[in-house]
Amino acid sequence: MTDNQNIFEKELKVINIGIDTFTTDLKTQEVEVIHVDWHPPAGGDLDMLKLLEKLQGD
Amino acid sequence: MVMRILVRADTYYDSVILMRISNAIADLDGILQAAVVMATATNKVLLENLDLLIEEAEAASPNDLVIALDAKDDASIDAALLEVDRLLTARDERAEGEVFPKTLNSAIRAMPDANLVMISVPGHFAAREAKKALKRGLNVFMFSSNVSIEDEVELKQLALEKGLLMMGPDCGTAIINNIILGFGNAVNPGTIGIVAAAGTGLQQVSTIIHSEGHGVSQAIGIGGNDLSKEVGGIMMLEGLRRLEQDDSTKGIVLVSKPPNQVVSDKVLAAASQSSKPIVVNFLGGNLDEIKSKGCVGAATLEDTAKAICAIMKNKEPLPIIFDADHGDVVSLAKKEYSNFSNEQQYVRGLYTGGTLYYEAMLLLTPLLSDLYSNAPLTSKQKLEDANVSVGNTCVDLGSEELTMGRPHPMIDYRLRSQRIVQEGVISETAVILLDVVLGLGSHDDPASELIPAITEAKNEAKKNGRYLSVIASIVGTSLDHQDLQKQRDALEDAGVIVMPSNAQAVRLAALIATKGSAQDMLFEEGL
């Protein structure tokens, strides 16, 4: 059981990964939000990424 | 003509920023074509289509930025490159002073009480980030598309195990605790809960609920694939269960394109056990089947919203053809088509909202013969070329074949404006039918983009002895930042007939284009 199962009863606290206008839109609505400065992992190499995921047991 | 292509290694920017920059650069004097993109496989195809793919760009990785310019001279290119740098730097400077973690894990460290992650990175990466988020006990709203069905099933099952919401992939909108996620309209808080596998469907339903004086408790987006055979309605069933348990929710709406039959049975069986009234719209679905499960079925998004509002007031839900007196609607249609030339006979529906488009196709199919589309309901309706209308045509401008390398048409109106002008030139075009979607995420002033194109198309028709009828509906509320009243007034001043809903706009368009002959089917058979 985690606390976040009852999201309807909580104040939204958001992590945004990707399009940065979503962060701006949430701030406009006075939502606490943190923007991730995301870059494609493994230099965007999907084959390398799959290997890394295997190594990490994901 | 001069071409210059630069590759900047390990320089990542998100696609929305780059599309904005590409558009700004393409508009500069002397620039013929411009693409500022990450070197992903999709973008390499885009560059190839623009004849801007050279070996260096082809070899670049998705983490590398490609600036490709085709211009009339070197000076134009130099000026454009300066502008690219200015725009990229402006974006970097905006970020200064704020802490931007690089990964989900570091973001969670910075915000340990985070409870939801929004994800809008490319497909495979999106699934990976979502899995991490769910494992860390966070709810997910996933805007990203191009996630495999296997990944979607895995993510939704994981969410279920963890007791979390997995909204998406391909989820455009949700309203959780009165906060809009993604694209969505500002609506009053209230007692009606929505679960929707249809983005602009959710927007149309929530805005009409608002305009009827009611409000939304929660609107859970689940992504367009949720009711497929493979996914099995995992999140619609979970959303329904949660709304059933939510004390603030007194009535429930379910919206989806036609589900797989087994999934439909499962969802309706769950709905039949609910203690709360439920209105179901499986666009084009069997209303008797829904009724037999103790739910109220609705054929249009407008009827869906109005049915749940009626039930909340202990009134009988009644389907609506037109709000206005039918005689007045017939007179209005006659006034429009009496100005047509003999050749004018076709509707050209140019849609930005996918569900609104789908609803238009459902309503137009029985009313108009010769109906074609780029995303047809039947194979007979398939347009050979999405850019060229044939007979009655309805186009989903948000489809991937048309949006490739461009922002969504709800943000970037250029594609539709060009098409409006293009349709206005064609002598057979009688009616141009439009949706205008307001709210967060959408263009800040759609009327300002549409009016020059509509005026040009109407003037072109007039010059050639024709009259062009333009019908629109606006999905929006008085609380949306675009100012619903201002948008409506501006469109009406430009000669557009603005209808109260997409369904009514579609019916009026058919009535006008058929010069009244759709009247019997509309009023007697209640289509």
pLDDT at B91: 67
Q: Which residue does chain B place closest to A9, by CA atoms? A: B177
Mutation for testing the A interface, residue in B125, B194, B241, B480 having most A CBs under 10 Å: B125
- The reply to whether B122 falls in a domain is no
Of B121, B139, B246, the CB nearest to A18: B121
- The reply to whether B160 falls in a domain is no
What are the sequence ranges of the domains in chain A? 3-55
Exposure string for B236-266, b = 16+ CB within 10 A, e = fewer: bbbbbebbbebebbbbbbbbbbebeeebbeb
**Is B282 found in the same domain as B372?**
no
**Is B208 found in the same domain as B293?**
yes
Record: contact A18-B143, CB cut-off 8 A: yes
Mean pLDDT of the B53-78 span: 87
Domain range enclosing B38: 2-95
CA distance B310 to B448: 36
Give A3's DSSP letter. G
CA distance B38 to A13: 30
**Is B420 found in the same domain as B365?**
yes
How many other CB atoms are found less than 10 A from the CB of residue A27?
Answer: 13
Spell out which residues of chain A touch residue B99, defining contact as CB-CB under 8 Å. Answer: 34
**Is B355 found in the same domain as B303?**
no
- Cβ neighbors of B456 (< 8 A, separation 6 or more) are B420, B421, B424
**Is B337 found in the same domain as B304?**
no
Give every residue of chain A whose pLDDT is below 50, as ranges. 1
Spell out which residues of chain A touch residue B110, defining contact as CB-CB under 8 Å. Answer: 34
CA distance A56 to chain B (A): 12
**Is B337 found in the same domain as B264?**
no
**Is B359 found in the same domain as B289?**
no
- The reply to whether B52 falls in a domain is yes
Cis preceding-peptide flag for B62 (omega within 30 of 0)? no
- The reply to whether B211 falls in a domain is yes
CA distance A23 to chain B (A): 9
Place of tokens 């009165």: B178
CA distance B18 to B62: 13
**Is B69 found in the same domain as B205?**
no
How many other CB atoms are found less than 10 A from the CB of residue B342?
Answer: 7
CATH of the domain at B202: 3.40.50.261
Please, where are the H alpha helices in A1-58? 20-28, 46-55
Encoded amino acid at B296, one letter: V
- The reply to whether B250 falls in a domain is yes
pLDDT at B405: 67
CA distance B23 to B10: 22
The ipTM is: 0.89
CA distance A46 to chain B (A): 8
- The reply to whether B124 falls in a domain is no
Name the more confident of B190 and B85. B190
The rounded mean pLDDT for chain B is 93
**Is B349 found in the same domain as B303?**
no
pLDDT at B194: 98
CA distance B233 to B148: 16
Among B67, B95, B123, the domain-final residue is B95
**Is B289 found in the same domain as B332?**
no
For residue B6 the two structure tokens come to 């630069």
Place of tokens 């709800």: B410
Mean pLDDT of the B501-524 span: 94
pLDDT tens digits along B222-281:
999 999 999 999 999 999 999 999 999 999 999 999 999 999 999 999 999 999 999 999
Record: contact A17-B100, CB cut-off 8 A: no
For residue B453 the two structure tokens come to 């194109």
B129 touches chain A (CB under 8 A): yes
- H/E run at residue A32: strand A32-36
Q: How many domains does chain B have?
A: 3
Burial zone of B380 (CB within 10 Å; 0-12 exposed, 13-18 middle, 19+ buried)? exposed
Encoded amino acid at B201, one letter: G
Please tell me whether residue A16 adopts helix, strand or coil conformation. Answer: strand
pLDDT tens digits along B408-454:
898 889 999 999 999 999 999 999 999 999 999 999 999 999 999 99
CATH of the domain at B53: 3.30.70
Spell out which residues of chain B touch residue A54, defining contact as CB-CB under 8 Å. Answer: none
B14 touches chain A (CB under 8 A): yes
**Is B345 found in the same domain as B293?**
no
Instruction: Please give, one letter per residue, the 3-state secondary structure of B96-160.
Output: CCCCCCCCHHHHHHHCCCCCEEEECCCHHHHHHHHHHHHHCCCEEEECCCCCCHHHHHHHHHHHH
Of A1, A12, A17, the CB nearest to B176: A12
**Is B304 found in the same domain as B333?**
no
Q: Which of B119-133, B206-220, B487-501 has the lowest mean pLDDT?
A: B119-133
Record: contact B16-A32, CB cut-off 8 A: no
Mutation for testing the B interface, residue in A2, A27, A30, A36 having most B CBs under 10 Å: A36
Q: Are B200 and B354 in contact (CB under 8 A)?
A: yes
Among B95, B126, B151, the domain-final residue is B95
Spell out which residues of chain A touch residue B14, defining contact as CB-CB under 8 Å. Answer: 18-20, 38
- The reply to whether B380 falls in a domain is yes
Give B506's DSSP letter. H
CA distance B288 to chain A (A): 33
Q: Are B341 and B465 in contact (CB under 8 A)?
A: yes
B63 touches chain A (CB under 8 A): yes
pLDDT at B408: 85
pLDDT at A1: 40
Q: Which residue does chain A place closest to B104, by CA atoms? A: A36
Please, where are the H alpha helices in B246-325? 261-272, 287-292, 301-312
Provide the number of CB pairs (under 8 Å) joining chain A to chain B.
Answer: 154
Of B104, B143, B177, the CB nearest to A36: B104
Position B20 confidence tier, pLDDT thresholds 50, 70, 90 = confident
